[in-house]
Amino acid sequence: MSKQREELEHRLRLRNIKLSDYDDIRDIMVSIYRNQGGAWTKAELKNQLKAFPEGQICIEDNGKVIAAALSIVVDYAKFGDNHTYDQITGFGKFDTHDDDGDTLYGTDVFVHSDYRGMRLGRRLYDARKELCENLNLRSIIAGGRIPGYSKYADEMTPRKYIDLVKNREVFDPVLSFQLANEFHVRKVITKYLPSDLDSRAYATLLEWINIYYEKDEKLIGNKKSIVRLGLVQWKMRRFSNVDDLMQQVEFFVDTVSGYKSDFCLLPEFFNAPLLAAFNDMDASEAIRNLADYTDEIVGRMSELAVSYNVNIVAGSMPEYDGKKLRNVSYLCRRDGTQDKQYKLHITPDEASYWGLQGGNGIHVFDTDAGRVGILICYDVEFPELGRILAEQEMDILFVPFWTDTKNAFLRVNTCARSRAIENECYVAITGSVGNLPKVENMDIQYSQAAIFSPSDFSFPHDAIVAQASENEETIIVADVDLDLLTKQRKAGSVRNLEQRRLDLYSVQWKQKK
């Protein structure tokens, strides 16, 4: 390698600042802030490093500091939004740093003029975000200069100028960069830096919110990040009684529990083989007799959930109260509690053949492994329901289904994948396979269980976390990362929930009076 090429080759390194870096830092500050007081003294830098060494970050090139970002941790409530730079930094001494504070406060970022255009500021901002997350702080706040405002001060207010910068009608060398790095403007503050004539002493109060912040972090019992799902692709086979049915159910619950799954999902009408005992009856009468088993099965499911330490989404079963026949899915939590979700939309065949009626409520359920929703089969084909659940911060949508033909299955499958993308959640679906020759209206089955995700860089390229073989009795077990959902909703390539035009439209649930 030639000597000239060696001199041109960069060797960038991100690290914490040392006191021995002072000369390099002073040179950069003098060149940038010549009209605003110049550089700190060496004694001031020493105090800053003593107060919070982890928060003082730099980038070096071949051993020379070329960019730096400085910060402190503060109890932000002590200062509020109407502070000045000198107040919150202790006049540059950083004696306002508080190890027990809740906010990372950015005090300065600067880059050597010879290195502009290399996006070093972005690296420093990313390092600050990482520090904020690792320290479990609520957010990063900073007072941002608006040096471009001096050209427009006689024409418009700072607020109007900021709106133009947000809309990319005007470029500001500081604010445009900060907005591009996911900071938002909380307000305009005055007299922040009285010496900043270019900004007319105005500043933007900027905030970046740490989406991973946990206010009361516990040693045990925290919300899970990685959740393991177990889906049962159930084979329809003859069972002579409930004991036979539950023996097969327990086999699968035991299996997914052995893989330490947090959830076990069963299909819609997994108990349909018990209809064989009523095959001499009219179909509507037979399914009402099947409903007589539901309470017993739910009770035994709940016992399995507790004893095998897994939350069971018990597919669905018929429920008959003497007046209404409905299709209901039970959530049997491993702490012994239960909830249920009725199927809301009834297919024409279910209505005419059995006399099924739809429920009238929809819920998101809290569990020890995230907030979950349940849509039974046909319900997933109505996008409004998924959106209503998403607005209640659902993490995982479970879809137990029963379909007889491939085209029926593909309706459920395609719509479930859409719900995952548009609502930025995971969707788990499973059905039954095989056949029941002597059970009218439940004779053939088609299924391919799967877990779907949003479609972005943090997820599988095809948005399929896992998928079973078609029409085979099996299970699939896979992990989903709930933290990735949080990241997707705030920093994804597209943000379907955040960027809805709520000024133009909304989805509303009409409460029954």
Is residue 270 helix, strand or coil?
A: coil
d(CA 23, CA 387): 56
Distance of CA 160 to the CA centre of its chain: 33
* Six token digits for residue 383: 């996008």
Closest CA to 318 of 286, 349, 280: 286
Catalytic residue among 268, 319, 350, 381: 268
Q: Is 425 a catalytic residue?
A: no
Contact 394, 372 (CB under 8 A): yes
Closest CA to 266 of 319, 229, 225, 224: 229
Q: 140 — alpha (psi -120 to 50), left (phi > 0) or beta?
A: beta
d(CA 21, CA 13): 14
* Bridge partners, 235 (sequence order): 433
d(CA 484, CA 226): 10
Q: Is 296 a catalytic residue?
A: no
* Bridge partners, 60 (sequence order): 13, 65
Buried b or exposed e, range 156-172, using 16+ CB within 10 angstroms? eebeebbebbeeeebeb
Closest CA to 266 of 302, 316, 336: 316
Contact 429, 401 (CB under 8 A): yes
Q: Which residue has the tokens 């949003």?
A: 454
* Bridge partners, 430 (sequence order): 400
Q: Which residue has the tokens 């009523």?
A: 278
Helix (H) or strand (E) holding 74: strand 64-74
Q: Is 268 a catalytic residue?
A: yes
Distance of CA 383 to the CA centre of its chain: 19
Contact 314, 295 (CB under 8 A): no
Is residue 242 helix, strand or coil?
A: helix
Catalytic residue among 132, 319, 340, 343: 343
Closest CA to 263 of 304, 293, 295: 304
Is residue 54 helix, strand or coil?
A: helix
Catalytic residue among 264, 332, 377, 425: 377
Helix (H) or strand (E) holding 386: helix 383-390
Which residue numbers are catalytic?
268, 343, 377
